[in-house]
Amino acid sequence: MRKVFFFLLVTAIFSSCSNSGNGELTGVQDRTKFYHPDPYGMKFIPLGTYVMGIGEEDVPYTQMNQPKRITVSSFYMDETEITNNEYREFVYWVRDSIAREFLGQAGIGGYEMIEEDLETGELFDPPFLNWENDIEWDEQEIALELEEMYLPEDQRYFRKKEFDTRKLDYKYYWLDLQEAAKKDHSQGGDPREASFANRAQGKTDRSVYVKEAIINVYPDTLCWIHDYAYSYNDPFSQSYFYHPTYDHYPVVGVNWQQARAFSMWRTRMFNVYLASKGQAGVNDFRLPSEAEWEWAARGGYEANPFPWGGPYSKNKKGCLLANFKPNRGNYIDDGGARTVIVGHYPANSFGLYDMSGNVSEWTRTAFDKAANVVTWDLNPDYTYNAKVDDPIAYKRKVVKGGSWKDIEYYLLVSTRDYEYQDSAKSFVGFRCVMPYLGRSKGDNPSKASNVY
């Protein structure tokens, strides 16, 4: 009896140390601890403030920069531009997904679409692909079913069997938060408060904000020729994306829409992996805003005209610090005539390579000369999701950094330029960012390892 009384007494004492169940506000217990580790190949860019647009004189007299003090939140950025081999992983994933779909439709075992979670019975929409088995491309039955993925015999060059890259379409979905942010209380609220625009378009449920896009993911390998019609660039068109020599060169011939699709795919792949390990997901990968790109390029120094800090494009030894068009066209003076391997030149103070030169880089920001005037001074960004039938001026996206074919002026971090979102160029690539979960590095509660 005394043992039972002692046990009850100890239980009561320990119970009194907790507020759980006694009416006190304690928050939801047993929440997953989270620590934001550094994504592979990315550098942490701390939050900061700077005068966006401040730089050297306006050489072409474009009057596109209105200097403005802004603040940018913390984020991660790829330390180099996305390379051919990294983008090839995306292309191969799309290719293999299409192959699995063909095989599943043909009833070949192991490649069926997974439409239902076997544990919960939940239906997947769209269904997941079964990635359990590697594709046996040389197996006779499989090869026969996948014949449709290759070029027809009458279109083959010297009878070489090649994939028909025109069929490498990637379907993805995204949530139009800008549209969803418009007031719409027509679902579960007072219909009189619904915005006229949303009611007129019949937007009465959340599903209308989920958008679908289908993008062909293969780079335009002919960009080397159509960018420079009177120049011999045939070898680059034939081998730049294909040959192992260029695996670690920046991918080009990728338009803004393809770069955006790559970011969507990268997010999906990463979060699916984290979910399989029982870990919380992270923010999306995406293209950087113009403000984020410029802050990252400055390396934390507000008045840096170039990523390396100084006002000159050469170091003390007289060596050029980026791949561009120096002097009056002496392309090889910097060590490369066209693109060069990423990370060849010194990194800036944030550990980022080639923020100026090599290839210009897409941003998510729509181009407008007066954007700085109307945007907020905290994480400013001006975006517009241009449609196919929109005027061409609506399809302009900001590119930054200058490239191998540009003069020094375009290497300045403040210089603004643009390309059209559906155009692919031999001098434009991209890199991704991921917004940081939290205020600054180290403020997450968990002290877990920084390895996924």
Question: What does the block give as tokens for 321?
Answer: 């610090």
Asked whether residue 166 is assigned to any structural domain, the reply reads no
Question: What's the gap between Cα 309 and its chain centre?
Answer: 26
Would you state the pLDDT for residue 333? Answer: 93
Residue 220 predicted with pLDDT over 90? yes
Angle among Cα 273, 285, 399 to the nearest 5 degrees reads: 155
Residues 77-84 have a mean pLDDT of 98
> Structurally, how many domains does the chain consist of?
1
Band of the pLDDT at 13, cuts 50, 70, 90? very low
Residue 55 predicted with pLDDT over 70? no
Asked whether residue 298 is assigned to any structural domain, the reply reads yes
pLDDT tens-digit map of 377-436: 999 999 998 988 999 999 999 999 999 999 999 999 999 999 999 999 999 999 999 999
Asked whether residue 135 is assigned to any structural domain, the reply reads no
Quote the pTM value: 0.87
Neighbours of 90 (CB within 10 A): 23
Would you state the pLDDT for residue 452? Answer: 45
Would you state the pLDDT for residue 21? Answer: 65
Asked whether residue 380 is assigned to any structural domain, the reply reads yes
| CATH code of the domain containing 366 | 3.90.1580.10
User: 3-state SS string over the chain?
Assistant: CHHHHHHHHHHHHHHHCCCCCCCCCCCCCCCCCCCCCCCCCEEEECCEEEEECCCCCCCCCCCCCCCEEEEECCEEEECCCCEHHHHHHHHHHHHHHHHHHHHHHCCCCCCCEEEECCCCCCEEEEEEECCCCCCCCCCHHHHHHCHHHECCHHHCCCCCCCECHHHCEEEEEEECHHHHCCCCCCCCCCHHHCCHHHHHCCCCCHHHHEEEEEEECCCCCCHHHHCCCCCCCHHHHHHCCCCHHHCCCECCCCCHHHHHHHHHHHHHHHHHHHHHCCCCCCCCCECCCHHHHHHHHHCCCCCCCCCCCCCCCECCCCCECCCCCCCCCCHHHHCCCCCCCCCCCCCCCCCCCCCCCCCEEEEEEECCCCHHHHCCCECCCCCCCCCCCCCHHHHEEEEECCCCCCCHHHHCCCCCEEEECCCCCCCEECCCEEECCCCCCCCCCCCCCCCC
Would you state the pLDDT for residue 7? Answer: 46
Would you state the pLDDT for residue 19? Answer: 54
pLDDT tens-digit map of 82-95: 999 999 999 999 99
Segments forming the whole domain that contains residue 66: 56-80+246-452
Band of the pLDDT at 337, cuts 50, 70, 90? very high
Would you state the pLDDT for residue 32? Answer: 76
Residues 356-378 have a mean pLDDT of 93
Residues 17-21 have a mean pLDDT of 55
Band of the pLDDT at 9, cuts 50, 70, 90? very low
Asked whether residue 232 is assigned to any structural domain, the reply reads no
Residues 287-316 have a mean pLDDT of 92
pLDDT tens-digit map of 238-261: 999 999 999 999 999 999 999 999
Residue 282 predicted with pLDDT over 80? yes
Residue 214 predicted with pLDDT over 90? yes
Residue 442 predicted with pLDDT over 80? no
Asked whether residue 403 is assigned to any structural domain, the reply reads yes
Asked whether residue 338 is assigned to any structural domain, the reply reads yes
Q: How far apart are CA 306 and CA 357, in angstroms?
A: 10
Asked whether residue 445 is assigned to any structural domain, the reply reads yes
Residue 41 predicted with pLDDT over 90? yes
Would you state the pLDDT for residue 448? Answer: 45
Would you state the pLDDT for residue 29? Answer: 86
Band of the pLDDT at 61, cuts 50, 70, 90? low
